[in-house]
A and B are shown apart, each in its own frame.
Chain A
Amino acid sequence: MTEARAHFDEALGALVVSGIWHADAASALPKLAGKTVRILDGAGVTQLDTNGAWLLLAAARPQAGDPMPELRGFQPQHLAMFKLVAPHSAATAAEPEPRSEGVLEFTGRGSIAAWGHLVGLLDFVGRLSIELLTLMGNPGRWRWREFGAQVGTVFVGAIPIVVGMLFLLGVVFAYLLGDQAQQYGANIFVVDGLLLAILREVSPIIVAVLVAGRTGAAITAQIGTMKVTEEIDAITTLGLSPLAVLVIPRILALLLALPLLVFIGDIAGMAGGMLVTQQQLDISYFMFMDRVADVLDLKTLLVGLGKAPVFAIFIALIACRMGLSVTRDARSVGAHTTSTVVQSLVAIIILNAIFAIMFVKLGI
């Protein structure tokens, strides 16, 4: 075993190499800037593979058009390596480093992608509407079993996390509100504030965000993987519509599940608040419920619950569309799943803002 060695003989214009020439021998090459290598002397080379042969050739003739050096002293099997490598010097020529993207370019590309998503979503809604119309005429083709299975995972599976999260948020809200209200002796008004915050804003938004992350991502990943494994193509070939089989049951399941989850979230949030007000502000559970009965009007509850189906439709549409637009590779599944969650969150925030302005204008 001998290390790779190389030195340049100025008088002869010869690069003299010896030892084992593999890919990791590159560091043994001397600096040859501007010098012409006329002879490559390999009498001392014990091992040479294609990587080694290519490195030597690339050093001897930096440009693809440079003349081939004379090969001297190499063993026949090493000459064979040069014969394999030499014809490909043009294909392996050095190329400029790829330019990295500027901020402007990045923003532009992102904007075009965002516009594309919007157009794609509209197109998807159109196709889905046609599918729904045909299904209306054929009630026998509704996928009730798939719908049931989806409700199971979307609704029942999400209950623990929704209850846990809203309960803790209720605790935090009541604690912070109570801390302020106590200073003015306005303990009982904590209940009013808590109800308004939880029922109208916190529960619908948090539940929608949870479902977008939990179910939206799952839908995209599942449909996307089915696309990769050609299951979607199989469904189409069997004369079934992927929209009817996969998409509509999921949209309906989310449409049913999200308002129910928001309602469960309302109760959990109030329970959390009740626990804190009793501990911190000496408002008994009975007083809390009594105050709830006094100040809670149906409107507050319905505003919160009413947002849920709208969020649900958007999450489901985005998730299903992104799943169906996956291309056939693993990277695409990841990128589309990420995109689903981002798009859903943006949609939830924008929709919520629209609702807020709308309710004020309508005086609700």
Chain B
Amino acid sequence: MTEAVIDVRDLVTTLGGNSIHRDLNLSVARGEVVALIGGSGSGKSVLLREIIGLLKPQAGRIELFGQSVLDSTPEQMNLLRQRFGVLFQDGALFSSMNVEDNVATPLFEHTDLPHATCRRLARLKLALAGLPPDAAKKRPSELSGGMRKRVALARALALDPELLFLDEPTSGLDPTSARAFDALIRLLADSLGLTVFLVTHDLDTLFSIIDRIIVLSDGRVLGSGTVAELKTIDDPWLRDYFAARVSKGEPPHGN
């Protein structure tokens, strides 16, 4: 299974006169759980938005499931969008709907199922995302940050996509919720056979559930591999990045 689900070639992005990506290349194979890391302003989020078709790069080629994102017509793009789910950083839940309808919205729009069935399927997705049944009728504003992320994950999974994009899935969560969310992502990725592409700053996520890490630096891919492989790369930013984990493990000073 070496078919590339995401394939980015010679990507060039310039935003407001700033060069963001310079001849960036990366690819993700089916079934992989891949994390994209990089310093602030290294263009991680921009890259994610380009891959899912929200932003247009200046040059280059982006393919999802072998289909070009940049050359697709809006109709083709909409069909493509049904094959991947996106979890935005703050969940991006629709505040005018309750949780159940939020998750059912993709089913309302893209299937011929009666609305009652869509809602029942939505509740299945909420249960798979680890939410209690009574959450279904609540409004997003009544939920905690961790629960909102789970609802957003359930919505991303509504159409059973093959590919999942996650933008900082654990940001804003306490460590316990963050680890539980990591475990959930890994569990779903394994049981549903998902390919997962996530942008993160969370070192614990990287150490626990990721198959491969891609490092963005200076508009290019600096390296890719497991944590152990990346540690052999001699780069000041990357050294500091992994050093942060070591100092975190030390006992606090003082009493």
Contact = CB atoms under 8 A, between A and B. Distances in A.
Given A88-B127, A91-B127, A23 B120 contact: no
Contacts of A327: 141
Contact of A91 (B111, B124, B141, B157): B124
A23 B141 contact: no
B5 interface: no
Contacts of A95: 116
A24 B112 contact: yes
Interface string B109-122: 01111001100110
B95 A23 contact: no
Interface stretch (A4-12, A49-57, A207-215, A288-296): A49-57
A26 B117 contact: yes
A80 B193 CA distance: 11
Given A50-B192, A54-B121, A331 B96 contact: yes
B31 to A, nearest CB: 12
Nearest to B134: A91
A73 B133 CA distance: 32
Contact of B124 (A26, A50, A331): A50
A329 interface: yes
A311 B135 CA distance: 44
B192 A23 contact: no
Contacts of A24: 110-113
B107 interface: yes
A23 B160 contact: yes
Interface residues of A, number: 32
Contacts of A52: 160
Interface of A: 22-24, 26-27, 49-52, 54-55, 58, 77, 80-81, 84-85, 87-88, 90-95, 97, 327-332
B141 A329 contact: yes
Nearest to A328: B141
Given A24-B111, A51-B159, A97 B192 contact: no
Interface of B: 95-96, 107, 110-113, 116-117, 120-121, 123-128, 133, 139-141, 157, 159-160, 191-193
Contact of A23 (B96, B116, B139, B159): B159
A91 B116 contact: no
A94 B116 CA distance: 8
A93 B120 contact: yes
A58 B120 contact: yes
B95 A331 contact: yes
B96 A330 contact: yes
> Which 6 pairs across A and B sit closest by C-beta, in order of nearness?
A329-B95, A49-B160, A88-B127, A331-B96, A329-B141, A91-B133
A51 B192 contact: no
Contacts of A49: 160, 192
Contacts of B116: 94-95, 97
Nearest to A27: B112
A81 B125 CA distance: 12
A50 B128 contact: yes
Nearest to B190: A80
A235 to B, nearest CB: 21
Given A23-B113, A50-B192, A92 B120 contact: yes
26 contacts: A22-B160, A23-B159, A24-B110, A24-B112, A24-B113, A49-B192, A50-B128, A51-B121, A51-B160, A54-B120, A80-B191, A81-B192, A84-B191, A87-B127, A88-B124, A88-B127, A91-B123, A91-B124, A91-B133, A92-B124, A92-B127, A93-B120, A97-B116, A328-B141, A329-B141, A332-B141
B127 A23 contact: no
A100 to B, nearest CB: 14
Nearest to B131: A91
Contacts of A54: 120-121, 124
Nearest to B117: A26
A50 B193 CA distance: 11
A26 B113 contact: yes
Contacts of B159: 23, 51
Nearest to A97: B116
For B96, B120, B125, B128, which residue has the most chain A Cβ atoms within 10 angstroms?
A: B120
A315 B40 CA distance: 45
B182 to A, nearest CB: 19
